Chains A and B, each alone.
Chain A
């Protein structure tokens, strides 16, 4: 029993837990959603990126609290849904799963390394797209197709943007 208690602080030292001020926690996801809706009308290729997804992953991995992660992913996804043609809940479900998984993973590995961040974003992007596809095909019966080349390109593009974005967001985090 004493060994278990002693192991807990050691793991907390190895994997830092961070918090964010209220303005950063609220305004960053809102800004991500707004930019995601606004930039593609000038730069069409920008819709291959998913800024709300990157913000979801970042906050979930930094806070390392599964409930906060899944709730934030859920809210960001639902707002993003409301701007699309789809039913509300498709991005919500996908980002809820990502928020939950990212916060679970954040407590187990060091996510400050750029290399590990690239791998994490690649994995979560593909997982997010797979979840969205499963909901669209399985629950809503939308006749959409899975294009591997397009999804892999999107994963790489988001991973590269994510490394830069995470470095910027690192400036706003505080040790909990």
Chain B
């Protein structure tokens, strides 16, 4: 009886001894798979951070932070004290650049004024980046499957998850996880990243994502759409993380995809390969333009007045007491100016594309800047009444 019961035990022992390596492998793998399953459950329920991740990040990031800051100190010492050659020449070039930019600024201000009036007209809500926090890149995930960078700012500095991270050139990514002194940023060229993108010229919208090789692609634009290389790509604001209109990059090339969509590759505006300092957008203000900002109440007539040929009051068809049309002389004869600068006659069609004062053609959507930049006020006597 004793020999009979000990035989299975010996067999089991020899089995365990013989296959101990495979059993150890199975146990370790099973433990990790169970751990994965628990994380899926916990992440779906709470969206928290595991203790192990917190320990690892807390152990590694202080060393990285110390190295990056030490390196910056050495380099800034070099640039401040020893590398001043050529600063005077650079200063002169920058002054010239400022003068050119001032001139450009005047034109941009006029365009912005027009845009604000249109936004007020359509009750658009604008998003303003009202507060940013500069941060230093101190580390990465080190994996091409997971494009993550670490910043030297965390919840102690007011950083929260899902905040946008940008550089002066364009968007960089969004904050994924936050610790007290550091945070993880998911860079836009990660495979699981998704940014609402708009092609600036054609206004087509898609989703920007990354690939393992770091290439940016725009998904979900139909094959029958026409997209040209070189077109600017900006944020659409649809992801509720990046404000609308921030630069993403330019279309590099366009090829037909496997399915019904185009395969659009994008060159990022921000240099994602050499990120050193970035800005975390800590506050975005969303509000409508006030009347003061738009220079008083705006009516559709104001916009039309800016876009269509000027119509003087009383220049329309006139009728006598019996309702008969009174014929008026042609403008050239009436004003004696040869017609070029005179008012349009009653027989001249008041449509976009008609000859404007000065001889220019006003076509829909392409009105001259001077006309767009200085629309007539609402109470102007020259504004046509709807």
Q: Which residues of A contact B (CB under 8 A)?
A: 33-34, 36-42, 44-48, 50-51, 66-67, 70-71, 74, 78-93, 96-97, 100, 104, 132, 135-136, 139-140, 142-145, 147, 150, 154
Residues on A with C-beta less than 8 A from B39 are 87-89
In the bound complex, residues from chain A placing their C-beta under 8 Å from that of B91 are none
Q: Counting chain A CB atoms within 10 Å of each CB, which of B28, B143, B148, B150 scores highest?
A: B143
On whether the beta carbons of A85 and B184 are closer than 8 Å, the reply is: yes
User: Which chain A positions have C-beta within 8 A of B36?
Assistant: 87-90, 93, 135, 139-140
Q: Which residue of A lies closest to B273 (CB)?
A: A44
Stretch with Cβ within 8 A of A (4 or more), from B49-57, B226-234, B297-305: B49-57
Which of B19-27, B127-135, B242-250, B309-317 makes up part of the contact surface?
B19-27
> Is the C-beta of B274 less than 8 angstroms from some C-beta in chain A?
yes
Whether, in the assembled complex, B340 has its beta carbon less than 8 Å from a beta carbon of chain A, the answer is no
- Name the residue on B nearest A151 (C-beta): B212
Known: A87-B36, A87-B40, A90-B36. A37 touches B142 (CB 8 A): yes
Q: Mark B188-224, 1 if CB is under 8 A from A, else 0.
A: 0011100000000000000000011110000000000
User: Do A85 and B176 touch across chains, with their CB atoms under 8 A apart?
Assistant: yes
On whether the beta carbons of B142 and A83 are closer than 8 Å, the reply is yes
Q: Once the chains are docked, how many angstroms separate the CA of A71 from the CA of B273? A: 34
CA distance A116 to B102 in the complex (A): 65
Interface centre among B60, B145, B150 (most CB of A within 10 A): B145
Q: Which B-chain residue is minimally distant from A49 (CB atoms)?
A: B142
Query: Which of B25, B50, B139, B274 contacts A88, CB < 8 Å?
Result: B50
Complex partner residue of A147 from B53, B56, B190, B212, CB under 8 angstroms: B212
- Inter-chain contacts of B64 with A (CB < 8 A): 34, 37-38
- A47 contacts B52, C-beta separation under 8 Å: no
Q: Is B32 a contact partner of A96 (Cβ separation < 8 A)?
A: yes
Complex Cα distance, B139 from A44, in Å, reads 11
Q: Is B14 an interface residue (CB 8 A)?
A: no
Q: Is residue B63 contacting chain A, with contact meaning CB distance below 8 A?
A: yes
